[in-house]
């Protein structure tokens, strides 16, 4: 389902080979939060989706793990805390896309942008499908 939607929205994109459930569990354990079901579904179809100019619409699981851990551990002095965000994509200029973590869980499917220049966090879409549709229009 997801591959067809993404291919329709982004005719020029590449899909990484599917992730395995065990890889998802490893990332969830490392980050201390369960990934949203919609993100898991995409990752099980394609462990990352890259578009034109090398921009990732959905990161690979390894990048989700390493980027989130890096943000939480290394960017603590200049920004608000990142332990309540789950980054999963970027626009290629330093800005990232994220889910919100509330009390250790991702309770809503809302997608937010994090802007690196001013550390603002802005609502973007109600779910992953809407996020992809919005990115396709920009």
**pTM of the full structure:** 0.92
Continuous H helices in 17-102: 21-31, 37-45, 61-74
Q: What is the CATH number of the domain that holds 65?
A: 3.40.1580.10
Please count the CA atoms within 13 angstroms of the CA of 105 that sit on its side-chain side.
4
pLDDT exceeds cutoff 90 at 110:
yes
Number of domains in the chain: 1
Tens digit of pLDDT for each residue in 60-105? 999 999 999 998 887 666 667 678 899 999 998 889 999 999 988 9
Q: Which of 57, 30, 36 is nearest to 102 (CA)?
A: 36
Indicate the DSSP class of residue 14. E
- Predicted confidence (pLDDT) per residue in 15-46, tens digit: 999 999 999 999 999 999 999 999 999 999 99
Strands 111-115 and 96-100: antiparallel
Residue 133 to residue 8: CA distance in whole angstroms: 10
Q: Domain containing 102: what range?
A: 2-137
Its sign, for the CA torsion 103, 104, 106, 110, is positive
Give the whole-angstrom CA distance, residue 111 versus residue 97: 7
Question: Rounded to an integer, what distance in angstroms lies between the CA atom of residue 104 and that of residue 96?
Answer: 20
């Amino acid at each position: 389902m997801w591959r067809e939607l993404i291919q329709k929205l982004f005719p020029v994109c590449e899909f990484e080979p599917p992730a395995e459930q065990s890889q998802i569990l490893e990332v969830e354990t490392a980050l201390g939060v369960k990934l949203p079901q919609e993100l898991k579904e995409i990752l099980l179809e394609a462990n990352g989706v890259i578009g034109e100019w090398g921009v990732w619409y959905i990161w690979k699981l390894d990048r989700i793990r390493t980027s989130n851990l890096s943000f939480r551990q290394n960017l603590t002095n200049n920004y608000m805390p990142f332990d309540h965000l789950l980054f999963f994509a970027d626009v290629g200029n330093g800005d990232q896309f994220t889910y919100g973590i509330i009390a250790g869980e991702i309770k809503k499917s809302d997608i937010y942008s994090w802007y690196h220049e001013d550390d603002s966090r802005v609502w973007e879409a109600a779910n992953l499908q809407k996020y992809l549709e919005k990115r396709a229009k920009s």
